[in-house]
Structure 1
Amino acid sequence: MENPPGTIGPGWLIKVSSRTARPDPGACPTHLRTAVRPLVAAEPPVPFRRAPREDFAPGPLFAALDLWEQGGWSIGRVLDELRSTRGAFRGRNAPAHPSLMAWTVQAFERYVAARHEEQAAARAAGLPPTVPVRLGWTARTKKKDAPDARGGQQYEHTAWGRQYASADGSVRDLWIPSLGRAKADRAAAEKAAIAHVMANGAPTPHRRRGDTPPEDATASTRLPERVRVFDFGCADGSVTPLLDWHRTEVQNRFMADAAPAFVSAATGAGTRPGASCVDCKAISGCAALHRTPRLWGAASAAPMRGRRSVSAWDLRLHGECPAQYHLVRQLHLNDLSAENDGARRGRAVDAWLNQRHADRPVRGCRDLPIPDASSLPAAHPLEGPLAHVAVRMLTEHRVLCPLNGIGSNEQVLVQHRVTAYVPELDVVVLAVPDLLYTRRGDWIWRETKTASRPVWEGRSLLRSYPQLALAVLLFSAGALDADPRRSWVELEHLREGRGESRLERIDPSQPAVVAEAREVIADLAQPLLDDASYEPTTGRHCHGCQARTWCKPGTAYVAEHPQGVGRHPDAAEADHFADRGSIHA
């Protein structure tokens, strides 16, 4: 297969991780096709830019487990090293945030306890103990003399996690850390891909780019009769057995579930701009990705680090507390604390609206039955007074629904990702409006917010809700292929009181509006993009921070200000905007 524009290099080696088999409807086919070919590179080449902070949450944990499992360190010595480290931990690329090190201490202790408990149970069941494997397993085919229909001459399969094997090689275990609770299950294709590596993989030394391993690398390796996979929850120490298969079952599962996913990844065609753009080798040649230089007026400057992701919500979160942004949004740490009522209500209302607006043929909510508590989404259960408040908000929406009276020839896009690229900053901008729709062919961007209080009149809408400012800039820059003079940005502000909800309209073609939007986004984005330390900033938001458990300043603030138990209203009511869009920088 020919390389896509913007890439160079041979494609004969196809290397896939078990994660490649994980279903992802938003993934870009061209990104996947180049990602599984490690010898294909970006053209022009992208310089390596080191992150200022450790950006892989399990990195220090794996380094600590290596010391215990393979380095012969005692548990106490590893914990002392974790607690005393101020900077990069044991060869990691960048210094870890102090809160990440505190998280790692807890995750390490939980992992050790979980492994001891599981191994005791295995012995009681008559299974042989398993010990750590120093070299990762790779399932590899022999190199062919000529490329196949996919352009491949050699295939390699890998799986991520902590690997173990019994002394006689008959049993292999894999433990996959999840940052929150242990996952109850994983996709059938991903499980089959993992099992294939475990059943057929050989310990493989790390190699430099382009090196071909020796032909006899697997000659003396005994393959197991039984493979087991466990999911481990770093946040609570929970363990879920994901599979326990004999090798005869592995091949059948692989061919039925995983192989089609890998073929699709290796042969995908077409482009789908979105989150895939962050790591895509072909970004310089992608014609589908909108270029929006100087989107918020930032001065041209060479990026100091690689492409990364930030969202409109990230901008707001970083503005509140840089440490919270780094720990929660970049590292995805989560103390499993429950969301408060405002956030739960917002998500339930949001899910109900998305489901109704996605119905076909399109109908306005005014023409649908009046909602009641029984019609709320099962995935976001509410009860008692909270359910009644959500229903009253949905009743208010029936009047404001943008699809009321909409023509059959209009377009309606629910949770549609809008993507743009700021080349001088190497920033990919992503946004996911609640609704994009047309009226007489003119595009309108609708955001919906649930709230217990009215809109604060003392602050502009663009400053209160940065996602509106980002929408204005994307319209103005042409990222939606729409004329900003015939477009609108709307905020639907839902409250429970009869007649208290409001609909605000913003004109993205007005120079003053665009100037304010640029100022809003620049004030939030530039500090985030320039940040190299992610220092904590304490305040009311500490009460609802999902990483406060590991943050000393935040914990101290909450102890000194106990009146704010639970997430403060501003943060809670904004929660259903989380994960709506990103700026990948």
Structure 2
Amino acid sequence: MRQYEHTLWGRMYASADGSVRDLWIPSLGRAKKSRPAAELAAVAQVMAYGTPTPRRKARTEPPPTATDGRDLPDLVRVFDFGCADGLFERLLAEGPAEAKQRFEDDGAPAFRAAATGAGTRPGESCVECKAIAGCADLKRTPELWGGKPQAVARSRQSVSAWDLRLYGECPAQYHLVRQLHLNDLSAEGAGARRGRAVDTLLNERHGERPVRGCRERQSLDTAGIRAKTGLDDASAGEAAGMLAEHRLFCPLNGLANDEQVLVQHRVTAYVPELDVVVLAVPDLVHTYRGRWIWRETKTAARPLWEGSSLLRSYPQLALGVLLFHAGALGNDPRRSWVELEHLREGHGESRLERLDPGRAENVDEARAVIAELAQPLLDDTTYEPRTGRHCHGCQARTWCRPGTAYVTDHPHPGVPGTGTTDRGDTHG
């Protein structure tokens, strides 16, 4: 018989009479306002029924005896604490009976799935996986962009479109945000909030079953969007205009019910000669009469610049072309498309652009784009700051002296005398 032990980490406290038990979970940046239901259920169960014990030297030592029911606390509370801003959020406060019910409803099913599951799920965890050599479910994509192995031996890394964008702007920003998980605490810009709201609303609609195109749905007006997202009147109005434009381009319009529709689907591949895991999460992937379609949706205040290629402007499109071409989605690239839906507020201002991953010129350009971005990232060992206009929207400027100095010396033209800026108009 296999025995499992549930434990907690964090700062744990109890009142002098034992009637109240608290757990404070530290977060590197701001305090998290919520955590997965299964996680909270497991936390509540251990807080209510577990027994404090010193750390055991070896797993072979027997676990402590659980509370027998006579010394249960009256109340357990869980807080999330933001180490960067010093603020906190209360995640739950309940008694043992509520904790037990919460675990039966949300925790036990997740625990059973984890304890009995035998499948694999490629993703970011592949970076640390010791069984990657024998994993048949992780797609191998050798020579994905023709990269060169690093000159200095390093542990396995991951690369995503977000990584490439952050590093392309500033190596220090990439290192602080993606590797050290330090984000700036300044408020998100209006454009970014609007883009995130549009993204969330589209994901909700596209994820509903049975599948329905947005053209068949009732339009959301400014008041409805404001109520659902918390945007101000101006941003909610802009979002309403973008969603109205999307109704014309929605990939689910007229799509048969037997087609596959995957919202925010994770695509993972492994480049063995570089020991690099490639991660991509397109906004939407779906089938259409045997053809796979990869759709990226972007919101913007300005039109597409005709003087720049789509693959260079949006590296995630280049990654999509390469992953399709390498068969990472298990399909013939000649029967696939990579699409960009560029949404703007004004009527007729939005565009839908399509790229064929089966065309050699598209594949060659995508390889050049990713190689130019990825090779310096993989070779870098110092991550020196690179100051410029992007410093105004840097997610880690709080911890960057050169970036802070640059913003002070070069006030953003939209906000004279300050270092604040909109963080960008696109999402995804």
Query: Which residue identity is paired with 1:270?
Result: G
Query: Structure 2 vs 1, CA of residues 252 and 522 (structure 1 numbering), >3 Å: closer, same or farther?
Result: same
- Judge conservation of contact 1:541–1:567 (CA < 8 Å) in 2: no
Q: Secondary structure at the match of 2:241?
A: helix
Quote the offset at 1:373 in angstroms.
1.5
Q: Which of the residues 111, 122, 132 maps onto 1:273?
A: 122
Label 1:168 to 1:320 Cα distance change in 2 as closer, same or farther (>3 A). Answer: same
User: Aligned residues, how many?
Assistant: 418
The answer to whether residue 216 in structure 2 is matched with residue 359 in structure 1 is: no
Q: Which runs of 5+ in 2 are unaligned?
A: none
| Offset of residue 225 of structure 1 | 5.2
**Who is 1:322 aligned against?**
171
Matches within 5 A, 1:215-234: 226=73, 229-234=78-83
The one-letter code of the counterpart of 2:60 is T
> Are the equivalent residues in 2 in contact too, given 1:182–1:233 (CA < 8 A)?
yes
Is the contact between residue 189 and residue 258 of structure 1 (CA under 8 Å) also seen in structure 2? yes
Matched, 1:439 2:291: no
One-letter code of the match for 2:279? Answer: L
The SS at the match of 1:424 is: coil
Q: Is it true that 1:200 corresponds to 2:51 in the alignment?
A: yes
1:273-321 C-alpha deviation (Å, 9 max, x unpaired): 2233333343333222211112111135698333343320121111101
| Equivalent pair of 2:226/2:233 in contact (CA under 8 Å) | no
What is residue 120 of structure 1 aligned with on the other side? none
Cα drift, residue 457 of structure 1: 1.9
Note the C-alpha offset of 1:463. Answer: 0.6
Correspondence list, 1:80-229, <5 A: 148=1, 152=2, 154-164=3-13, 173-187=22-36, 189-195=38-44, 197=46, 199-207=50-58, 212-213=60-61, 226=73, 229=78
CA displacement at 1:552 relative to structure 2: 0.9
Query: Contact conserved, 1:177 with 1:231, CA < 8 A, in 2?
Result: yes
CA distance in 1, matches of 2:387, 2:132: 38
| 1:421 corresponds to which of 270, 274, 277 | 270
Tell me the residue number matched to 1:561. Answer: 410
Q: Distance in 2 between matches of 1:535 and 1:344?
A: 29
Task: Evaluate the alpha carbon distance shift between residue 513 and residue 544 of structure 1 in structure 2; reply closer, same or farther with a 3 A threshold.
Answer: same
Match of 2:329 in 1: 480
Alpha carbons of structure 1 residues 248 and 480: separation in structure 2 relative to 1, 3 Å: closer
Bigger radius of gyration, 1 or 2? 1
**8 Å Cα contact 1:348-1:377 kept in structure 2:** no
Q: Is 1:235–2:87 an aligned residue pair?
A: no
Matches within 5 A, 1:49-64: none
Deviations 1:372-399, CA, capped at 9 Å, x for gaps: 2134375533232222222222222222
TM-score, normalised by the number of residues in structure 2: 0.86
* SS at structure 2 position matched to 1:231: strand
Contact 1:235 1:335 in 2 (8 A): no
The residue matched to 1:337 in structure 2 has which SS? Answer: coil
Q: Decide which of 379, 384, 396 is 1:547's aligned counterpart.
A: 396
Name the amino acid aligned to 1:231. Answer: D
Distance 1:527 1:298 in 2: 10
Contact 1:344 1:380 (C-alpha < 8 Å) held by counterparts:
no
2:425 aligns to what?
A: 573
The residue type paired with residue 395 of structure 1 is: A
Please tell me whether residue 468 in structure 1 is matched to residue 320 in structure 2.
no
2:346, 2:402 → 1: CA distance? 39
SS in 1 for 2:4: strand
SS in 2 for 1:200: coil
Q: Residue by residue, what CA displacement relative to the aligned partner does 1:1-48 show, whole Å, maximum 9, x if unpaired?
A: xxxxxxxxxxxxxxxxxxxxxxxxxxxxxxxxxxxxxxxxxxxxxxxx
Q: Identify if the C-alpha distance between structure 1 residues 343 and 293 changes in structure 2 by more than 3 Å, giving closer, same or farther.
A: same
One-letter amino acid matched to 1:317? L
Given that 1:180 and 1:336 are in contact with CA atoms closer than 8 Å, whether structure 2 keeps it comes out as yes
Q: What are the residue-to-residue correspondences of 1:500-539 with 2, within 5 Å? A: 500-539=349-388
Task: After TM superposition, give the deviation of residue 185 of structure 1 in Å.
Answer: 4.9
Q: Deviation of residue 245 (structure 1)?
A: 6.5
Does the 8 Å CA contact 1:303/1:426 hold for their aligned counterparts?
no
CA distance in 2, matches of 1:532, 1:424: 19
Q: What amino acid does structure 1 have at the position aligned with 2:53? A: A
Q: Secondary structure at the match of 2:195?
A: helix
Cα distance between partner residues in 2 of 1:159 and 1:167: 21
Deviates more, 1:250-259 or 1:484-493: 250-259
Structure 2 residue identity aligned to 1:392: G
Q: What is aligned with 1:264?
A: 113
Equivalents in 1 of 2:272, 2:227: separation in Å?
Answer: 42
Give 1:306-321 correspondences, 5 Å limit. 306-321=155-170
CA distance in 2, matches of 1:407, 1:523: 40
The structure-2 alpha-carbon separation of the partners of 1:555 and 1:205, relative to structure 1 and needing over 3 Å to count, comes to: same
Matched-pair contact (CA < 8 Å) for 2:249–2:341? yes
Contact 2:166/2:173, CA 8 A, preserved across alignment: yes
- Cα distance, 1:408–1:455 mapped onto 2, change above 3 Å: same
Compared with structure 1, are the counterparts of its residues 218 and 400 closer, same or farther at alpha carbon in structure 2 (3 Å cutoff)? closer
Instruction: Report the alpha carbon displacement of residue 471 of structure 1 after superposing the two structures with TM.
Output: 0.4
Q: Deviations over 1:151-192 (max 9, x none)?
A: x2x433321213456789887653211223333454554345
**Partner residue, 1:293:** 142
8 Å contact from structure 2 (residues 392, 412) kept in 1:
no
Shift of 1:224: 6.9
- What is the TM-score with the length of structure 1 in the denominator? 0.64
Partner residue of 1:406? 255
Number of the residue aligned with 1:35:
none
SS at match of 1:563: coil
Task: Tell me the distance in 2 between the aligned counterparts of 1:242 and 1:370.
Answer: 35
Summarize the Cα distance change of 1:407–1:228 in structure 2 as closer, same or farther, 3 Å threshold: closer
Matches within 5 A, 1:332-411: 332-376=181-225, 378=227, 380-411=229-260
Deviates more, 1:474-483 or 1:424-433: 424-433
**Contact preservation (8 Å) 1:347, 1:380:** no
CA distance in 2 between counterparts of 1:450 and 1:278 reads 31
Mark the CA change 1:502 to 1:246 in structure 2 (over 3 Å): closer, same or farther: closer
What SS does the aligned partner of 2:9 have?
coil
Secondary structure in 1 aligned to 2:387? Answer: coil
Q: Distance in 2 between matches of 1:495 and 1:237?
A: 38
| Contact kept? 1:541, 1:568, Cα under 8 Å | no
